[in-house]
A and B are shown apart, each in its own frame.
Chain A
């Protein structure tokens, strides 16, 4: 029955690689006319990559794309616009230095010549009035002056404005993430009207209720694949969560229960935007997990704790020296011109000093110790850091933190793009160091890693929304809290 609807867009076996990472692994996906497709999945499941492909901003490495039944050999943004496919991207794409009317002009090549300014203003004003009655936005407002919610409203309205190009499909990537309940409701009811009138829509949202209520069909993605696709009525919240998270329950790491209770207090921190009295508490010997969707304030809190160690900050107590293992090792972790030994020693300079100078001998000793301990695979620790593979570079950064005097180690999702063998070695090391009394604060986007933790705090919108002990920790619970509906 769904096949009976004429396709607007259809992808067959779409593939995309970023280096060694497979962002999309042979995805079949289609949208019919007059249909609202909901697309859900965890961070990094490949939703945005897929949408960039539909919008023409990314070129697939493999597979075909067809629009209205015609194969598109050289698909591009310009071609997509010509065919009436538009996208409201997750990252706001207004020009902050231009006003609302001028931003509308950017999407409409035909708004030109005498009086274009007035026509652009009329166009966007009418659409804003239609979608968000009482929006309070003027066409002369500079985009940069608008609140993030209003900017999102302008961007959504702009995608639905009509000049010369047709309009068949609008991709809405997290359209309500910055809207309050009222305006989000206005938008979703407009989407329903648009779909009822024969338009098509792809709705990506982390608010599962929104998707369940507004989509006709739901596609669930995980690890660059479509894992479930069915009519929306066939899903409920639990089935969606199960499909997203991987229903096959996986083995918990067999970590022996440690007596972490009595340890000395090491860190007590409240996120800046926390409104209730939840706070993060970490004791000596504990491994604390920071979970939730990417970019919901975990890294911010880690950085706040890091700076609180050297300079007092309100709301954060830190009782011991701190070291940070950066997640983005290329930009935040590695000194690219330095040797492996120098990269490890930088956090421990005071101990490596001999008089005023750094003792090369002590530096070499420290490096050699960690080379053996953590298994850095290199013939010579004086080689440049880039002579190592990615996983070994990350090990060197761990050695930098663990080799220092830091009693608190902050880990900002350090295992991104690291192979499983290295991961397991590092997990063992972390547990071993924790048993010796070190405290770990571990932000990770990989739910399995949380099994190494004694305690997990789930973050949403810069706040701690759940506080799970080791025994209550399940993947479903974490997803449930991080996807909790706002209203």
Chain B
């Protein structure tokens, strides 16, 4: 008889089923983002206890909100087995629009931003219909966004709209605003993607597209929705960034492309298979934001070496994940 088939005969199943251990390994992996965040926080607390305060968090996590939003944006395309290499320059483009038109001519500004989300939706349709590699298309688009940003704002400047400035400088009691915002983003996206019935379809399109097609769902629509959501969160990220920095620069978001990809992966997502986690992605973004400069500054690592040290942290966390995934098998 076939051994692996007899193994599933009900009743003959030993209690320590492979399913149990797979679930355990998955839980461990789900905890890994939180664990790495805790580790970074402990390190910061140890190096500089005063940083763990209302004021300290406000300062350290200042840039975490736009990074978290960009990471969520990236997560949507990754959920559909695609990759967006243009999110960084797109955030920069949105920043330039926010600091100029959105302040001076709000109607045009709003139309441009909505239009840019529409462009993202069209990209999704193009990638699906022509079966193009998203990496190539979005790499091309990254130069388009960059060029547009430079056209709008040839040299650094502009100013964020006042309402945006006041939102981003909101100081709630007890809990620092960036933490509150992170919780809100994670909760909203988790509900939308992980709990709603259409969220299941969106994730399923990354897990087994053929199965979805056979069940009668439109893959064109899922791809368009995923890309439009990426555009939407890219817009939110760019606006949040300008709300913090108050003025814009065409190159302001360039680092976000790789940061957002790293955030998704750090948060337990995978490049293919529709396995993503919004909560993990936000935690991943926070970890990156903290590890990016506060931690390294406290460690007295000179700025010249910070980027390399950042990469080293990424490699360590991802290596830990690989080890856990291997146990899963």
Contacts and interface: CB of A to CB of B under 8 A. Distances in A.
Interface of A: 55, 57, 76-78, 81, 87, 89, 91, 93-98, 102-103, 105-107, 109, 111-113, 116-117, 132, 134-136, 141-142, 145-150, 178-183, 275, 461, 486-487
B327 interface: no
A106 B217 contact: yes
A98 B5 contact: no
Contacts of A113: 197
A102 B210 CA distance: 16
A147 B8 contact: yes
Given A148-B4, A180-B9, A77 B204 contact: no
A275 B6 CA distance: 15
A249 B19 CA distance: 50
B5 A116 contact: no
Interface of B: 1-11, 13, 18-19, 22-23, 26, 195, 197-198, 200-201, 203-204, 206-208, 210-217, 273-275
A141 B22 CA distance: 10
Nearest to A93: B211
7 contacts: A57-B213, A76-B216, A77-B216, A94-B208, A136-B13, A149-B4, A180-B2
Nearest to B275: A97
A97 B206 contact: yes
Given A78-B216, A106-B217, A145-B22, A98 B10 contact: no
Given A97-B206, A149-B8, A486-B1, A106 B19 contact: no
Given A77-B216, A95-B203, A486 B208 contact: no
A402 to B, nearest CB: 38
Contacts of B198: 112
Nearest to A138: B19
B203 A141 contact: no
Contacts of A178: 5
Contacts of B200: 98, 102, 105-106
Contacts of A89: 214
Contact of B1 (A55, A57, A117, A180): A180
A150 B10 CA distance: 10
B203 A98 contact: yes
A134 B9 CA distance: 9
A462 to B, nearest CB: 9
Contacts of B2: 180, 461, 486
A107 B213 CA distance: 10
Contacts of B9: 180, 182-183
A18 B299 CA distance: 64
A97 B269 CA distance: 11
A132 B26 CA distance: 27
Given A77-B216, A149-B5, 9 more contacts: A93-B211, A95-B204, A102-B203, A106-B211, A147-B7, A147-B18, A180-B2, A180-B6, A275-B3
Nearest to A134: B10
Contacts of A183: 8-10
A422 B297 CA distance: 72
Nearest to A97: B207
A473 to B, nearest CB: 26
Contacts of B11: 134
Nearest to B199: A102
A182 B9 CA distance: 7
Nearest to A145: B22
A111 B3 CA distance: 37
Contacts of B216: 76-78, 81, 109
Contact of B10 (A57, A136, A146): A136
A113 B273 CA distance: 26
A146 B19 contact: yes
Nearest to B204: A95
Contact of A141 (B10, B13, B19, B213): B19
Contact of A98 (B7, B207, B214, B217): B207
B212 A106 contact: yes
A96 B10 contact: no
B215 A77 contact: yes
Residue from the set B22, B212, B215 with the largest chain A CB neighbour count within 10 Å: B215
A105 B7 CA distance: 28
Contacts of A461: 2
Contacts of B213: 57, 77
B274 A180 contact: no
A461 B18 CA distance: 22
B8 A97 contact: no
Nearest to B79: A97
A94 B211 contact: yes
B197 A180 contact: no
Given A102-B204, A145-B19, A95 B197 contact: no
